[in-house]
Every structure is written in C-alpha cells, then in structure tokens.
C-alpha cells in the first residue's frame, strides 16, 4: 500500500536534513565548532593557583581518614497537635562530627553532640560503623571523649600549636554538616582570641570556613593538616552559616581532654569561684603594696557561701596564678575555674597584706 505524503511534508523533511547537515559540517559554521572550544589556560598561566589547589588536596587526603561522623540516637515522645493524650515514641537520629586522637580508638567531639544520647555510633571514612563508648566529658568546655575498638582503620590526627596562629592564616574545616560526611571547606582565621561568646567564658578561634549544624566536633586545620581547633558554634540569626564560625583552640582543648581522661566516666560540670575581680589601678597597687610590674587580678567582692569565701579567699587578695598558670586578667582566672570544674580544686598563688601565700579552693555548688 503506497502512502502519498503532502508536498509540504517533503519540503519540511528536506529543510530539516539541510539544517542538520549544516550543523555537523566541519568548519566554523558547523555544530562541531562549539565542542572544540578555545585553547585553555596553560600551567604557566595558573601555576600559583594549581599549587594552592594541590595544597588543599594534600590537606584533605592527609586528614580524611582521621575525621568521623557521629550519629546519636535517643527516644523522644511525639505528640499529636490535634488530639490530647495522642502521642508515640520514636528513636530520633542526629549527626555531628569528630576526629581520632589516639590509635587505641579515642575520638573527640563536642559535648552537645552526644548529650542525652542513648546510643552513639562512629562512621569512618570508608563507611564502616562502630559503636562508641562514652569515656567522659566536660560540659562547660563542650568537649567529650569517646572510644571505639582498636584497629578501626582510622588514623590519629596531628596537632598544631593554636597559640601560634595568626589572623589571615588558612583555616580548613572538615565535618558532616547536615549529615554530609567529610565535607571540606576552606577559609581563614578571622580572629585569634574571641572572648565572651557564651556562658563558657573561654576564648575561641573565629573563622569564615563553612561551619553548619552537623559540623560541631570536627577539626579546624591549618595548611599543614594539623588540628588547631574543634569546630563548635556559629553566630547566625537563621541557624545557618553566615561566615562567622568559632572553634575551641586546640591547646586549651588538650588540657580538657587530659582532665577528662583522668576522670573517666564523669561529666565534669560547670563551677564558679564566686568572686568579682579586676586588674588593679595604680592607686590600688600603691595602697596595697602591689609592685607595678606584677600581673594578676584584685578581688574586690565575693558571693556569700561561694567556693572562694568557703575556702578562705578574702577581699583585696591579689591573685597571681591559678594551677600554675599566670593570671593576667579575669578571663584567665575564669578559664582555669572552667577547666577544673565542679568538685575540683584550684590552687591559687596570692599576694595578701604584702606577703605571698598559697591557697587551695575547692569548687563547690553554691
């Protein structure tokens, strides 16, 4: 059976064939010219950028097997908004980040990542999942120590000196924002010692590296791949990254980790000394006989029944050291109180009535 197509159909078919022939025709007028493109930039043109790119790749490859995702589960009651007494319980999961600090399986993260968790799992870079045991934590410092089995295939991190960082240094974050494991983000150190961000009173490293929910507990690295901080919080009205993130300096964190290890099984709770103190003015120094070049803080008042009062600290005592650390200002003293925690003992070196004395303060619940 022969089918006769209208003449207009044959004309359209001819035009289509001609159009396709022109598109694939070699030369400047053909479609193939779009795929050839221009000559790319050469290595000599992009040498500096390629070297920097390779440096970032090196950091990632060096660190990826040290960083883990942390999955916690806890049971919560879900209540119906439409009916009274209509509720059910569900085991909800949440994610955070962490990193291996010792080949025996010790993992560091933030306390708020594992707080109230019924179960904790560590997810390695190859997807392996390991149950984690709670070793201990420091609530005020927001640091927790976990343990997984040895031989996990993870590699312990290398530590850098967080006191030697400078504003403008590269700051690299690796973690699991929104559960997206081993996300790599590059920024800089925006501020070295950011104080009074929250109730902890401790100083933080500020960075514009992308830190989001789920990044907490992951490492902040320098350009050598060394851990200089533990990513902890962000400053944002929306709860999403706005380029202002904060990490716990690693030199401070190492002191906390050592204290946690010494107090296995405990949650070290926040404590207060209960004093009002300040760097003394020249008139105060002259009246109390405090040498002008001595550093410390002067106690001008204290809370009734506080740890300070109960341990014999007095008004106008000049505190020079706390646990062997020089006290230059009130934040230095607050930091040492925070490290020791509730129930701990704070050894003070004070100047009282023109004589040096040693005083041990037991940090109690007021």
Question: Average pLDDT of 270-280?
Answer: 92
pLDDT of res. 26: 57
Q: Measuring CA to CA, which residue among 316, 313, 324 is closest to residue 347?
A: 324
Q: Are residues 187 and 139 in the same domain?
A: no
Q: Is the pLDDT of residue 13 over 90?
A: no
Range 236-245 burial, b when 16+ CB lie within 10 A, else e: eeeeebeebb
Cβ neighbours around 30 below 10 Å, total: 15
Q: Is the pLDDT of residue 185 over 80?
A: yes
Tell whether 270 is covered by a domain.
no
pLDDT band at 331 (very low <50, low <70, confident <90, very high): confident
Boundaries of domain holding 229: 169-256
Active site residue 216: yes
Q: Are residues 310 and 352 in the same domain?
A: yes
Q: Are residues 109 and 80 in the same domain?
A: yes
Question: What spatial distance separates the first Cα and last Cα of the chain, rounded to whole Å?
Answer: 103
Question: Average pLDDT of 310-324?
Answer: 95
Q: Are residues 68 and 138 in the same domain?
A: yes
User: Who has greater pLDDT, 92 or 65?
Assistant: 65
Question: Average pLDDT of 284-292?
Answer: 93
Question: Average pLDDT of 192-196?
Answer: 84
Q: Are residues 189 and 140 in the same domain?
A: no
Q: Give the C-alpha distances (Å, rounded to integers) separating 234 from 81, 213, 250, 329.
A: 32, 9, 18, 26
DSSP 75: E
Would you put residue 340 in left (φ > 0), alpha (ψ -120 to 50) or beta? alpha
Question: Average pLDDT of 107-128?
Answer: 93
What CATH number has the domain bearing residue 210?
2.40.10.10
Beta bridge pairs of residue 361: 346
Active site residue 112: yes
Contact indicator for 315, 277 with CB cutoff of 8 Å:
no
Q: Measuring CA to CA, which residue among 300, 295, 309, 304 is closest to residue 349?
A: 295
Indicate the SS3 state at residue 10. helix
pLDDT of res. 61: 95
Active site residue 198: no
pLDDT digits (tens, 9 = 90+) for 21-57: 655 555 555 555 555 666 788 888 889 999 999 999 9
The number of domains in the chain is: 3
pLDDT band at 307 (very low <50, low <70, confident <90, very high): very high
Cβ neighbours around 133 below 10 Å, total: 12
- What are the tokens at 206? 């500020």
Tell whether 71 is covered by a domain.
yes
Beta strands at 318-322 and 297-302: parallel, antiparallel or unpaired: antiparallel
Rounded to whole angstroms, the Cα distance separating 229 from 162 reads 7
pLDDT of res. 165: 97
Q: Is the pLDDT of residue 15 over 70?
A: yes
Q: Measuring CA to CA, which residue among 351, 161, 339 is closest to residue 256?
A: 339
Beta bridge pairs of residue 351: 318, 356
Indicate the SS3 state at residue 303. coil
Choose the final residue of a domain: 256, 289, 322: 256
Rounded to whole angstroms, the Cα distance separating 140 from 110 reads 10
Tell whether 190 is covered by a domain.
yes
pLDDT of res. 192: 92
DSSP 164: G
Tell whether 46 is covered by a domain.
no
Beta bridge pairs of residue 35: none
Q: What residues contact 43, with CB distance under 8 A and at least 6 apart? A: 50
Tell whether 222 is covered by a domain.
yes
pLDDT of res. 16: 78
Q: Given 216, 306, 307, 311, which residue is catalytic? A: 216
Question: Average pLDDT of 254-267?
Answer: 91
Tell whether 39 is covered by a domain.
no
Q: Given 65, 142, 317, 332, which residue is catalytic? A: 142
Tell whether 286 is covered by a domain.
yes
Q: Are residues 201 and 139 in the same domain?
A: no
Q: Are residues 82 and 125 in the same domain?
A: yes
pLDDT band at 89 (very low <50, low <70, confident <90, very high): low
Cβ neighbours around 270 below 10 Å, total: 17
Contact indicator for 165, 205 with CB cutoff of 8 Å:
yes
Q: Is the pLDDT of residue 77 over 80?
A: no
What CATH number has the domain bearing residue 323?
2.30.42.10
User: Who has greater pLDDT, 85 or 208?
Assistant: 208
Instruction: Name the percent of the chain lying above pLDDT 90.
Output: 63
Beta bridge pairs of residue 92: 74
User: Who has greater pLDDT, 198 or 347?
Assistant: 347
Tell whether 57 is covered by a domain.
no
Q: Given 94, 102, 112, 169, which residue is catalytic? A: 112
Q: Is the pLDDT of residue 283 over 80?
A: yes
Q: Are residues 243 and 283 in the same domain?
A: no
């Amino acid at each position: 059976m022969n089918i006769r197509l209208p003449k207009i159909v044959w004309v359209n078919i001819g035009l289509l064939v001609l159009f396709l022939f022109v598109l694939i025709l070699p030369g400047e007028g053909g479609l193939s010219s779009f795929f050839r493109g221009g000559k790319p930039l050469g290595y000599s043109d992009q040498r500096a950028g390629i070297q920097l790119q390779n440096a970032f790749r090196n950091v990632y490859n060096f660190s990826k097997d040290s960083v883990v995702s942390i999955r916690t589960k806890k049971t919560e009651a879900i209540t119906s908004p439409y009916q009274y007494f209509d509720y059910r319980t569900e085991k909800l999961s949440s994610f955070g980040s962490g990193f291996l600090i010792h080949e025996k399986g010790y993992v560091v993260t933030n306390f708020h990542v594992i707080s109230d968790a019924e179960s904790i799992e560590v997810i390695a870079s190859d997807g392996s999942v390991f149950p984690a045991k709670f070793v201990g934590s420091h609530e005020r410092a927001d640091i927790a120590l976990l343990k997984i089995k040895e031989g996990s295939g993870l590699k312990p991190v290398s530590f850098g000196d967080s006191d030697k960082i400078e504003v403008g240094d590269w700051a690299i974050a690796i973690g699991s924002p929104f559960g997206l494991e081993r996300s790599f983000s590059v920024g800089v150190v925006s501020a070295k010692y950011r104080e009074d961000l929250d109730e902890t009173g401790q100083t933080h490293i500020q960075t514009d590296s992308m830190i989001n929910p789920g990044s907490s507990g992951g490492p902040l690295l320098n350009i050598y791949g060394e851990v200089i901080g533990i990513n902890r919080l962000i400053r944002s009205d929306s709860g999403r990254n706005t380029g202002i993130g904060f990490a716990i300096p690693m030199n401070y964190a190492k002191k906390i980790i050592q204290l946690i290890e010494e107090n296995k099984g405990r949650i070290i709770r926040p404590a207060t000394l209960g004093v009002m103190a300040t760097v003394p003015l020249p008139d105060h120094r002259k009246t109390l006989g405090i040498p002008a070049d001595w550093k410390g803080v002067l106690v001008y008042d204290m809370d009734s029944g506080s740890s300070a009062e109960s341990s014999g600290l007095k008004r106008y005592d000049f505190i020079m050291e706390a646990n062997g650390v020089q006290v230059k200002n009130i934040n230095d003293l607050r930091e040492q109180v925070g490290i020791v925690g509730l129930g701990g003992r704070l050894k003070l070196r004070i100047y009282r009535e023109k004589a040096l004395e040693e005083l041990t303060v037991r940090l109690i619940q007021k």
